[in-house]
Structure 1
Amino acid sequence: MPSLTGNIAKMRVSATPDDNTVRYSLPVGEQFIEMNDLIGSEVEVSHSGLIHCVHCGSKTKKSFNQGYCYRCLITLAQCDSCIIKPEKCHYHEGTCREPEWGEAHCMSDHFVYLANTGNLKVGITRHVKDSISSRWMDQGASQALVMLRVPDRLTSGQVETMFKSHIADKTNWRTMLKGAPDKQDLEAEKQRLLAELQPELDKLRDEKGLQAISETDMAAVEIDYPVTAYPDKIKSINLDKTSSFSGTLQGIKGQYWMLDENRVINMRKYAGYGLTVSY
């Protein structure tokens, strides 16, 4: 049984409009495991007990924000609270922890989207490559549709906040893992929401400029996942309590592995953990 040992990172994802089944690649140290090839096969995972920060590489007793040490948590712009709540972006106030990082990541176009992750939700993303965003795949969305383009992170957060009074902004991971959801008419839902929010959107346009919030003509996309069986009742694996596990990999959705006996594990949660993965 071959194996790799090293610190893991969030699984890399890819898909195209021609092949919309997500392909997963797990970084282990400097190497990668092509996870789609392991569906239906036995995998074994053991945690060495070591955790290293995904940013600075320092050894840490506890991981924060899916992989950071405490020092990076309180100093990096990418760990600031405005990353979770973009409507609180404070770059324009001159108080960004890392102005160069903020310039590159916050002061660029963002997209406000609808996604079907088992329930309809609104969200924001910076990148939509070949009509598909890696964020949708990380969230386990089966459908997604870009609604609006805005010029910066703050505006995206302000627009998202408007939508949150009409639709959820969180993915229910348990619902997402229970199976493929019923298809939704995202275009119809988009038009309904835009009509309801037009007065609020127009007010924000008056403040930021008519071109600051523009409707896109991108079509809705459908996304498939490499899953042969969904769990009936979810049993979550916690590497901080159980340092090793093994089983048949039955599928991957979002950043979750689904194994036999209804077990699931959020691999992204353990970014920076030293693991040995045998397959």
Structure 2
Amino acid sequence: MQYTGVLKKMNTEITDKVQYYLDMKTDFININQLLNKEIELRFVTYECLNCHLEKEIYRQGFCKSCFFDIPTAGDWIMHPELSKAHLDIEDRDLEYEKKVQLQPHVVYLANSSDVKVGVTRKSQIPTRWIDQGAHEAIEIVEVPNRYLAGITEVALKDHVSDKTNWRTMLKNDIKDENLVEWREKLHEFIPAEAEEYYIANNSETNINFPVFQYPKKPKSLNLVKEEMYKGKLVGIKGQYLIFEDDTVFNIRSNEGLVIELITQ
């Protein structure tokens, strides 16, 4: 079978083991069904996820002109503390920013390579945790807008990491942590503006990924440079495809690439 389409992050469904789906325009592929099979990836060209023109991807699946213009790539996306829609102040498109920023957001702890703090819209749980390859996670606060979540994350990352070590996550070189204890330990550092939104009585969410073999020394595939890769798919974790020879391919960081995916 041969599929052609522009890469976007895989859709996920949390079941006993996470189910992964890749939207290839004319086909919707359950990637789990390709596990333990040989697959071939070929780079074809680029397609910006916004303007859909054949332009080199700059960041987040967008060409350079779109990245610096569209509201979906504003600085507040990566830095929630910069959100200003609650003040009725526009960054690039106030209507869009109000729609996204003025909705419930969650500050959480996730354990993927080590315990880290993060922010996401409530509607993106547990998707966000799955995308980060977290095998366990817990909510700390649920606030009514992105700004409050952002300043809470900034305060907490003085006491816990806000980064994921992708190599450690993929090697599964991790340990279980008591996230309830972590949440309680970090409670005192929550800013006064968000204190009333602290969640005191919840439990961890556990996530199982479909991986038959973890890589010992993960090697990241640069499909644009290599143009073609073929290997046996042995696992999926986070947004990574894991192959038998320790090659890993991050779907999320390659959004906007038009590829051919060939299976036997």
Q: TM-score range by the shorter chain?
A: over 0.9
- Which residue is 1:83 aligned to? 77
* C-alpha distance in 1 between matches for 2:16 and 2:51: 34
SS of the aligned residue for 1:215 comes to coil
| Partner Cα distance (2:47, 2:200) in 1 | 41
Instruction: State the SS of the aligned residue for 1:177.
Output: helix
Distance 1:120 1:65 in 2: 26
Query: What is the CA–CA distance in structure 2 between the aligned matches of 1:118 and 1:72, rounded to whole Å?
Result: 33
Matches within 5 A, 1:214-229: 214-215=198-199, 217-229=201-213
* Equivalent pair of 1:67/1:272 in contact (CA under 8 Å): yes
Distance 1:271 1:104 in 2: 24
Deviation at 1:95, TM superposition (A): 2.5
Q: Displacement of 1:216 after TM fit?
A: 5.3
Match of 1:201 among 191, 194, 206: 191
Match of 2:152 in 1: 159
Aligned 8 A contact 1:46 1:275 in 2? yes
Deviation at 1:252, TM superposition (A): 0.5
Residue 127 of structure 1 and its aligned partner are, at CA, apart by 2.6
Name the count of aligned residue pairs. Answer: 262
Aligned residue number for residue 5 of structure 1: 4
Quote the offset at 1:173 in angstroms: 0.7
Q: Which amino acid aligns with 2:118?
A: G
- Shift of residue 245, structure 1, vs aligned partner: 0.3
Distance 1:232 1:273 in 2: 27
Q: How far does residue 109 in structure 1 lie from its aligned partner after superposition?
A: 0.9
Structure 1 Cα separation of the partners of residues 58 and 252 of structure 2: 12
Within the alignment, does 1:241 sit opposite 2:212 as a pair? no
Please state if 1:29 is matched with 2:25: yes
In the superposition, the TM-score normalised over structure 2's length comes to 0.94
Deviation at 1:181, TM superposition (A): 2.2
Structure 1 residues 21 and 171: CA distance shift in structure 2, 3 A: same
Query: 1:125–1:133: 8 Å Cα contact kept in structure 2?
Result: no
Flag structure 2 segments of 5+ consecutive residues without an equivalent. Answer: none
How many angstroms does 1:93 deviate by?
5.5
**CA displacement 1:55-105 (0-9 Å, x = unmatched):** 221220x21222111221111122111211111113325232011111111
Q: Look up the match of 1:117.
A: 112
Q: In the aligned structure 2, how far is the partner of 1:165 from the partner of 1:269?
A: 27
| Cα distance change on mapping 1:156 and 1:20 into 2, 3 Å | farther
8 Å CA contact retained: 1:113, 1:122: yes
- 1:275 matched to 2:259: yes
Match of 1:187 among 180, 184, 190: 180
Specify whether residues 30 and 99 from structure 1 end up closer, same or farther in structure 2 by C-alpha distance, changes over 3 A only: farther
Q: Is the 8 A contact 2:90 2:97 kept in 1?
A: no
Counterpart position of 1:254: 238
Q: CA deviation at 1:219?
A: 2.0
% same residue: 32
Deviation of residue 128 (structure 1)? Answer: 4.8
Whether 2:34 is the aligned partner of 1:14: answer no
Measured after TM superposition, the shift of residue 217 of structure 1 is 3.3
Q: Residues 146 and 216 of structure 1 are in contact (CA less than 8 Å); yes or no, is this contact kept in structure 2?
A: no
1:64 equivalent to 2:58? Answer yes
SS at match of 2:184: helix
RMSD: 1.6
Paired with 2:95 and 2:200, the residues of 1 have a C-alpha distance of 29
Q: Is the 8 A contact 2:151 2:191 kept in 1?
A: no
Partner residue of 1:150? 143
Structure 1 residues 7-35: Cα deviation after superposition (integer angstroms, max 9, x where no partner):
121111110xxx34111001112321110
Quickly say closer, same or farther: Cα 1:162–1:154, change in 2 above 3 A: same
